Structure 1
Amino acid sequence: MAVVAVPQPYDFERSLDRFTFWGVDRANVWQDGGLHRVVAGREVRIEAANGGVRVEPFDDTIEPAVRKLLGLELDLDSFYEFARTDRVLAEAVRRLTGFRPPLAPDPFEALVSSITAQQVSLHAAFAVRSRFIERFGEPAELAIAFPTRERVAQASEEDLRLLGFSTRKAEYVLGLARLDLDFDALATLPDDEVKLRLTAVRGLGEWSADWFLARHLARPEAWPAGDLGLRKAVLAFYPEVTDVRAASVRFQPFQNLSAHYLLAALRYS
């Protein structure tokens, strides 16, 4: 067991509530005040501790996945300083201080999750995602490891349709699993190049690429302008805005955290 330090203040439960808010997430299971996730074949429990989180088991393989999951690469201190200059963000930070958006540790998981969420409610997306995990993932005690590309590549379109995927989304997921896409190389590229390569993949549009930048690569200037929830949040808090995509400049260079805080502020309003 080890304690991983997290910059304070940190609201553990609010930061991780996306894993319960829209339904059950079988890869990230909340149980008795802690989060369970399978990392490198072992189920890991993460719970709040003084100054950070307590992680059991813990080693050099588990640590980077936990740090990614908790969004520790996001610079909240600098964002909070920036937010003081904007009345809406300043109020959001006041209400949500300590909210640190979690990230998707696995790039394949991030992209499959975005495909499941295309043009449906997040409640529906979480339901399909959980059935997908149960069908193709490797179960541990409470959580189930998110399915690997290799396992999914062996599935059929009918397998996925039975889980609630549309025919087209089933094609997208299988195509992604069978594609020789170098995720490690993507992480080294600038934002525009990442988007260019991802949008060249069938089934991955700009919306999916933007959320990959935001929720997997943690790029500070990622701004998912095509996201319906973000559009609602921006227009609710900034009624003078007429172009949500163009509005990103007012949040530069903290578009990613601004988007997450605006979404959370609308959700908890």
Structure 2
Amino acid sequence: MNAPSIPAPDLHLSDYYRALAAKDARFDGVFFAGITTTGIYCRSICRVKTPRASSCVFFHSQAAAEAAGFRPCLRCRPELAPYDLQQNLAHAIWQKIAAGAMNEQGLESLAQTVGLSSRQLRRVVLQEFGVSPIELAQTQRLLFAKKLLQETNLSMTELAFAAGFGSVRRFNALFEARYKMTPASIRRSHSQPESGIYLRLAYRPPYAWDALLNYLCGRAMAGLEYVDSEEASYRRTIQLDGKNGWISIHHIADKQQLGLQIAPSLSSVLMPLLAKIRQQFDVEANPVLIASHLQHDPILAQQMQRTPGLRVPGSFAPFELAIRAILGQQVSVAGATTVAGRLVRSFGEPMQTPWPQLSHHFPTPVRLATLSIEDIAAIGIPKSRAATIQSFAAFSAGGGLDINPGISMEQLIQRLVALPGIGDWTAHYIAMRALRFPNAFPAGDLGLQKAVTPPDQTRCSAKALELRSQTWSPWRSYAALLLWESLA
């Protein structure tokens, strides 16, 4: 846990080459190496013989490597690399593009979504990645299509549309022009059963899968999600862009990947679906970078030794997590989980899945907003909390959770606490888990206060904990998870 932090933009060329020669997984997705003698670009972990330093050119993104004329390696598969998440506007835009934001809407619509003019958006992306937004989107589509070619048996038509292409002809033409090969030439045959589509997501090790699974298990909403302890997998129902289905996720430790089983009915929304799974399971975290900062606190350092690679569990849908947080106000985790399951079964849409534990979708914001306070309270909660759920559902139905990438965490917290029944704890919990702000920290949480208080001393106050947490910035959310885990 004493490894130094890895700020990629500050690395020298010799640092890149040493990481490439060492096959260092900590740099996976942080940079890509273009090999001038072959015209191919690779991940830092590629197992082929390391080329000479004079033959290597380094890039911060796949798009930049492809814009320079390099093709993706068929062995290390750059499309599998975890993203190099950075907290800036350019990477927030890139995340939207990687999730398929430009598949259905054009550049103007994307610019409007992120609160920029199309000219400003082009400038931001070009400065950060060295390519235009359209080139960035094309690279993501091609790499996603390549992933589907090598991991699934989807037909070419299904595959092309799932990757965001308007036609198979357009997909074939661009693939051949960019990669100098046909899609069929890299197709792999898979003996997958008809029970689902199987895909993989890579992460940077270590990954505390068991700890994350235990955290989700204690908060799983009956009917909507389920943790299978025997198979160490997480399952849930899915409702996305008008499509209904389910997913099952397990850990492939020896390959440093998550394995996904996805309902065939979700084939047309695979791109945004995988983006949501990445967020829920915090796949893009750089645990070495985070640990190098937090290890200076003795309590956090001790817990990191017990659970190296601890992630901040996200949520598949921010609205679900926000309602779950409201239900958790001033009650135990077990009590909140129980009433959350009642809410799902009472007001969610029923559906069939391969598992009896999964039977409903989460109720939509419109559904909860139109219910009476009495109806919501009937699940076993006070009317005041039912009123908060009703008003928050109306807020969400009106686009309140559609967060502009440029918004600061402080602005978001102010927006949330202005809502009736939403206090500082709830706002920070939503920011941390639902909206993925890595520096959110609910200092008013009694468990966090207890975790930092030495035995036989008066419990640390929220004000004192908030002050102490400033030294953990910008990774306070990870510090919170470590402290909660220490109580277990």
Specify which of 377, 383, 387 is matched with residue 167 of structure 1: 383
- Trace 1:138-149 onto structure 2 (pairs within 5 A): 138-140=349-351, 141=353, 142-143=357-358, 144-149=360-365
Residue 46 (1) aligns with residue 249 (2): yes
Cα distance in structure 1, aligned partners of 2:406 and 2:322: 17
Contact map agreement 2:369 2:393 (CA 8 A) in 1: yes
Residue 221 (1) aligns with residue 439 (2): yes
Cα distance in structure 1, aligned partners of 2:404 and 2:205: 31
SS at match of 2:314: coil
Letter matched to residue 200 of structure 1: A
Q: Which residue of 2 aligns with 1:35?
A: 234
Residue 185 (structure 1) shift:
2.6
Residue 263 (structure 1) shift:
0.8
Cα distance in structure 2, aligned partners of 1:252 and 1:176: 29
- Trace 1:104-183 onto structure 2 (pairs within 5 A): 104-140=315-351, 141=353, 142-143=357-358, 144-179=360-395, 180-183=398-401
Residue 236 (structure 1) shift:
4.1
SS at match of 1:183: coil
Residue 30 (structure 1) shift:
1.2
SS at match of 2:271: coil
Q: Which residue of 1 aligns with 2:478?
A: 257
Cα distance in structure 2, aligned partners of 1:226 and 1:165: 22
Letter matched to residue 333 of structure 2: L
Residue 182 (structure 1) shift:
2.6
Letter matched to residue 36 of structure 1: R
Number of equivalences? 267
Residue 6 (structure 1) shift:
1.9
Residue 134 (structure 1) shift:
1.2
Contact map agreement 1:186 1:194 (CA 8 A) in 2: no
Residue 126 (structure 1) shift:
0.7
Seen in structure 2, the aligned counterparts of structure 1 residues 218 and 236 have a Cα distance that, compared at 3 Å, is farther
Contact map agreement 2:417 2:427 (CA 8 A) in 1: yes
Cα distance in structure 2, aligned partners of 1:248 and 1:102: 20
* % same residue: 26
SS at match of 1:244: helix
Specify which of 205, 224, 235 is matched with residue 423 of structure 2: 205
Cα distance in structure 1, aligned partners of 2:394 and 2:435: 22
- Trace 1:51-90 onto structure 2 (pairs within 5 A): 51-57=256-262, 59-90=270-301
Contact map agreement 2:221 2:344 (CA 8 A) in 1: no
Structure 2, unmatched stretches of 5+, are 1-197
Contact map agreement 2:221 2:340 (CA 8 A) in 1: no
Contact map agreement 1:136 1:151 (CA 8 A) in 2: yes
Seen in structure 2, the aligned counterparts of structure 1 residues 177 and 154 have a Cα distance that, compared at 3 Å, is same
Q: 1:158-203: CA deviations, max 9, x gaps?
A: 2212211210011110111123243123554101110111111111
Structure 1, unmatched stretches of 5+, are none
Specify which of 207, 210, 214 is matched with residue 13 of structure 1: 210
Seen in structure 2, the aligned counterparts of structure 1 residues 53 and 159 have a Cα distance that, compared at 3 Å, is same
Seen in structure 2, the aligned counterparts of structure 1 residues 133 and 114 have a Cα distance that, compared at 3 Å, is same
SS at match of 2:390: helix
SS at match of 1:147: coil
Contact map agreement 2:299 2:452 (CA 8 A) in 1: no
SS at match of 1:126: helix
Contact map agreement 1:220 1:256 (CA 8 A) in 2: yes
Bigger Rg over Cα: 2
Residue 11 (structure 1) shift:
2.8
Cα distance in structure 2, aligned partners of 1:126 and 1:167: 18
Q: Which residue of 1 aligns with 2:128?
A: none
Contact map agreement 1:187 1:217 (CA 8 A) in 2: no
Seen in structure 2, the aligned counterparts of structure 1 residues 77 and 20 have a Cα distance that, compared at 3 Å, is same
- C-alpha RMSD of the superposition: 2.2
Seen in structure 2, the aligned counterparts of structure 1 residues 15 and 236 have a Cα distance that, compared at 3 Å, is farther
Letter matched to residue 472 of structure 2: F
Cα distance in structure 2, aligned partners of 1:218 and 1:184: 13
Letter matched to residue 184 of structure 1: D
Contact map agreement 1:34 1:47 (CA 8 A) in 2: yes
The structure whose RCO (Cα within 8 Å, separation 6+) is larger is 1
Residue 205 (structure 1) shift:
1.1
Residue 232 (structure 1) shift:
1.2
SS at match of 1:100: coil
Cα distance in structure 2, aligned partners of 1:51 and 1:163: 41
SS at match of 1:9: coil
Contact map agreement 2:220 2:226 (CA 8 A) in 1: no
Contact map agreement 1:73 1:218 (CA 8 A) in 2: no
